[in-house]
Amino acid sequence: MGINSYYSTGQKLQSVQFGPFVEGIDEATEPHLLDQRTFSNAENLDMDTHPGRLSKRPGLQKVSSLSTVLESAPKNAFTYIKNGREMMFISDGKYVIRSEDGLTFTRMKQVKLSDGTVEDLILNTSGYPRFTQGHGKLWITNKIDPVMSWDMLDISTDRDHVLKHDKQLTDKLPNNSSFSTFVYTGSASFEINEFRGKIFAIGLKEDGSEVGATGEYSIILSNTASTGTKVFTLVNTLNVSATDGKNAVITIGASIPKCSYMQFYHETMFIADTDNPLEIRFSELSDPNQPIITINADHPNAWPAVNQLTVQAGVGDKIYGFSPVYRNRLAVFKEIGIFRIDPDPTFKFTLENFTDEVGSRFPDTWIEINGVLKFLGSRRDSKPDIFYTDFVSIGDYNRKHHITLDSLKQPKQMIKSSITTGNSWGNANMSTLTDISEGMLQVGKINIGWSNLYSCEELPEDASIAWESISLDNILSTVSGQLRLDKSQGGASSYLKKISDAFSSALPNHLSLRAKAETTVSFVLPTLNFGIWNGAKGAWVTVKYNPNLPGSAIIKMNGILLNYGINVSAFHNYSLIIDADVSSLYIDGTLVLTTSTSPTSLNKVQFGIGDMTGSPFIEDNAFSEINTFGETFTFDYIAYENTDGNITKTIDYKKAIIPSLYSFGKYFLANTTGQGSDISMFTKSSDNGIAYGAESSLSSGSIPSSTVKRFLQVRINTLCSGNPFYFLTGGILHVTKPILIGPNISQWLNFQMEHFGITTAAMKIRRSINTEEPSELGETGWYIDYPATTDQEGWKTIANGNDIGTILADSSSLPPTTRWIQIKHEMSLGSLAELETHSSSAMVINWMEGSSGFFPISANLFSKRYMLNAAKSNSTANDIMIVIDKNNKFMNWTGFSMNFMLWFKGRLYMGRSSDSNRNLYFMDEGIRNDMDDSGNPIAVTAFFETNEESMKSLFTRKKLRMMEIASNAETSNAKVSYRREIDTLFSSPVAVSFTSADTKKRIHFPIGFQAKRVVFRVLNDSQNQDMGVELMALHFEQLPSQSGL
């Protein structure tokens, strides 16, 4: 792009205007869908100080160097205000320093335990120091060192003396009537002046019989070491009578639980993330021994064990901090879950689950602004967003800034896990035989039996095909989960059930039932009858006790009699088959009787109680008993069907191609009652479930020889010769849905899943680097790494305990590039017995999220803007601020590296996140330059990128003629470049200079310069200059479309 003479083709000139630029950055909308007031990208701009005019952000000015008082970069800071005086406290994690002017700092002190003098306070550098103010004191904690306090009105002559609240002594008073010194008689060890400045308090008498001197207390001026006479000198003389004082319990010092977070609310100190990371402890406001006496958090009696709350709901295993006190309420939060702490007249305080859909891990980002609290958090998808709440509802910005947010480096490195167990196994693509039972992934089975099957769970009279009662005296009931047919009274009746038109004479017919006689009466012979009538041929059977041969039965089929050795009072399987002109009876899988069928016009299936009294091939009611009762038969199941002996089951493996035979594995066909062996199996497979290949025979306990495809069809031939109820089991395939790992992974850990009792179990894993969810089953979006240890879809073998990064070859780069993973299981049994004995554990995928280094994410206010300070994912220090201006529009500010932001005496101070350059800065609204570590001015580089302008038509070509730019900066040197839809990079920039007298510029494009869509970039990187751009206008000519575009 260059400045050229004006050129016209005679076409009508059209224009689009960019600006006024008031909408900020929108990363959630496609650039070609943005309007001309919105940026696709921008940095270091101020849009709301002068609406419609772009200014550079305020500059940062160096205040002082902290190199002489800190050893490393300052981590955190706090402003302490008391009695009209302001003090700034800063810590690098080792030292704590204070200042009243922001220029001169001194280190805080602690008692030197070896001789009782004071020395520099030194903290454990593994902790993160946090500050709060309450009860007039400054409080410091880092969870590793004891909780500490400081008071500018401390009785110590050394004003920087910090008290550590980690040790408490107990003893009892002698008969003193008044005293200012106390001799400790206990066995605890301590150093000289270790308790200086702490509280000496008197409680109940040892026997509890009298109140005594309860509530009296004094500050300790000094103490000797415990190696000699253990003397505590008090600031005040305590006047206690001998009667009141004798045997009264005294406590010396307070033991406050170590914690990560502190906050004061309702004059009460709250602490969280103690040795129990889900526990909140809070202090007592009055002495439990003398409630009229008010006490502070450092009083020996301020921390009773009952003063606690436990956060069980939500997601995550720890508390991440407290909100500011807002609308007289305080909140605490977990990774997912925000809980309001409400005062309660009975329990002092209670937890109210405000939301279990949003949480936060960043307590320093909670800031009150414009009547709401804003904070950095996430929903259950772990994707970060900036939220706002009034403790009634929660809103967010719909991740409008998601590209920047997703690229932030997450501090507080933590273990993240994806756990698959229970019902979550079902969120997958599973083959037919996959079973999920009691939270475990298992090899399952499919039942194979006749379609008209009735059992105790599906009684005949409740089934879709109703059984007809031939006699009104029939009693059909369920007892102990079994079906019973009873005759409980005498009379000439038949006790029968039937279904009419049940069979076809053109096919073999089958009736099977499992039954037993429940009761016998000495003069009654319980008789079971059943039969098949197919409209042309029939066969009927009666089974009756044989009184002459105990343990045997009289069997009749079509009038042919047989004495057979069975006990009718036990369950037996009876199968009746009509095939052509032959009827066959099987009992427990054994053929016992064969006869010719008889002609009939009846068509029904029937069972009942009673012997034959008429012609069953002519009469519908040909079975009855006279004056008998007490006949009861119980049935486990009843089944009937027209069949040729073949049953076919199709097994779907939910996958087009399976690169192993594990998914098929060995197949086992089992009889549910352990009888019947004259069966055979055949298989064939298909890609689509429609066209199948050739059939191959398969024996139980073998692997199918069919080509491995998605569908396997198993045909079972029972030859109608035994119990028709079998189950089939084989291999399974289970492929999880894509599992989100997300952009914040910093390190892979291990994979955990064990299988017990399975001889063949293969697990595979594959990964995707896609931002969006990849294809579930296909190859699209999955990382392919040929040829080592992978198949055509990127799967790699993984086992329990393996390091996931090693298996995926994703551990050499840190952080890993994986964003999604998928797990595939292929399992099969080595023996039929393993079907009931094998099991699996939950599947756990572990990784680390966040940085192991120190990257404090915090927020503060500046000119009604919410400013979120963080680090980009590829950065070694904080280097970006996400700014939401007073109009709730987004902007990125860069060019500095700061660990904290702090308001002190009307200025926003920032601490440099550099170990080598430990400097303090403040933000100056009136300056457009920054300062380097030496105090030299450096330019603030500001730029913006417009929407991808389609010039009124998304796909048509246009001839770009010229660009006009208006700026009201007194002096500004802008650099303008473009990127068309066919370009990968922006063009070389063209310099454009503005002055107070020359506020508009025109840039002409070369002759014939064309584009369908174009993005413009405007940059200013000069010192002592503002941006000043207000409006831009692009002039172009439409060209005729080609091929309809």
* 245, 372: one domain: no
Per-residue pLDDT band at 1 (split at 50, 70, 90): very low
Q: How distant, in Å, are the alpha carbons of 280, 349, 811 from that of 311?
A: 8, 13, 35
Tell me, what DSSP letter sits at residue 945? E
For residue 88, is it within any domain? Answer: no
* 674 and 571 within one domain: no
pLDDT digits (tens, 9 = 90+) for 303-326: 999 999 999 877 777 899 999 999
Domain contains 79: no
Cα separation, 134 vs 302, whole angstroms: 14
Residue 884, domain member (yes or no): no
Please say if the pLDDT value at position 257 is more than 60: yes
Q: Which two tokens mark 437?
A: 């039972």
Closest listed residue to residue 198, CA positions, set 244, 237, 235: 235
Which uninterrupted H or E stretch holds 828? strand 820-828
Give the pLDDT of residue 930. Answer: 95
Last residue of a domain, one of 849, 876, 894: 849
Task: Verify that 629 and 648 share a domain, yes or no.
Answer: no
Q: Are residues 492 and 539 in the same domain?
A: yes
Say if residue 58's pLDDT is above 90. yes
Is residue 855 domain-resident?
no
Amino acid at 961: R
Range of the domain at 775: 414-449+643-849
> Is 558 within the bounds of a domain?
yes
Amino acid letter, residue 977: S
Residue 811 near residue 803, CB atoms below 8 Å: yes
Does the pLDDT at position 977 exceed 60?
yes
Q: Which of 191, 226, 252 is the last residue of a domain?
A: 252
Helix (H, G, I), strand (E, B), or coil: what is residue 808? coil
Is residue 1043 scored above 60 in pLDDT? no
**Does residue 662 sit in the same domain as residue 591?**
no
What integer pLDDT is reported at residue 502 of this predicted model? 84
Q: How far is CA 633 from CA 188, 412, 484, in A?
A: 82, 71, 6
Query: What is the tens place of the pLDDT at every residue in 132-177?
Result: 999 999 999 999 999 999 987 654 445 668 999 999 999 988 877 8
Specify whether 620 is located in the same domain as 474.
yes
CATH number at 501 reads 2.60.120.200
| Dihedral angle sign, alpha carbons of residues 300, 305, 309, 311 | positive
Concatenated DSSP letters of 354-365: EESSEE-S-GGG
| DSSP assignment of 572-613 | EEEEEEEETTEEEEEETTEEEEEEE-EE-S-EEEEEEESEE-
Q: Is 816 exposed, middle or buried (0-12, 13-18, 19+ CB in 10 A)?
A: buried
Position 31 in a domain: yes
* 3-class SS of residue 424: helix
Give the other-Cβ count within 10 Å of 415's Cβ: 12
Same domain, residue pair 691 and 626: no
d(CA 135, CA 149): 10
Are 342 and 456 members of one domain? no
CA 916, chain centre distance (Å): 39
Q: Give this prediction's pTM.
A: 0.70
Lowest mean pLDDT among 560-564, 615-619, 665-669, 930-934: 665-669
* pLDDT at 884 > cutoff 90: yes
Number of structural domains the chain divides into: 5
**pLDDT tens by residue, 454-493:** 544 454 555 445 677 676 555 556 555 566 666 654 444 4
207 with 247, same domain: the answer is: yes
| Residue that terminates a domain, selected from 399, 434, 461 | 399
Which has the higher per-residue pLDDT, 208 or 415? 415
For the record, the structure tokens of 268 come out as 């009460």
CATH at 956: 2.60.120
Share of the chain above pLDDT 90, in %: 49
- Could you tell me if residue 139 is inside a domain? no
Beta bridge partners of 608: 496, 529
Instruction: Write down the pLDDT at residue 427.
Output: 86
442 pLDDT higher than 60: yes
Cβ(464)–Cβ(434) below 8 Å = no
Note whether 488 and 635 are same-domain residues: yes
Question: Has residue 876 been placed in a domain?
Answer: no
Are both 592 and 654 inside the same structural domain? no
Q: What is the mean pLDDT of residues 523-542?
A: 88
Residue 557 burial (C-beta neighbours within 10 Å; 0-12, 13-18, 19+): buried
768-819: pLDDT as tens digits: 988 888 888 777 888 876 554 555 678 899 999 999 999 998 876 678 889 9
Query: Does 292 share its domain with 426?
Result: no
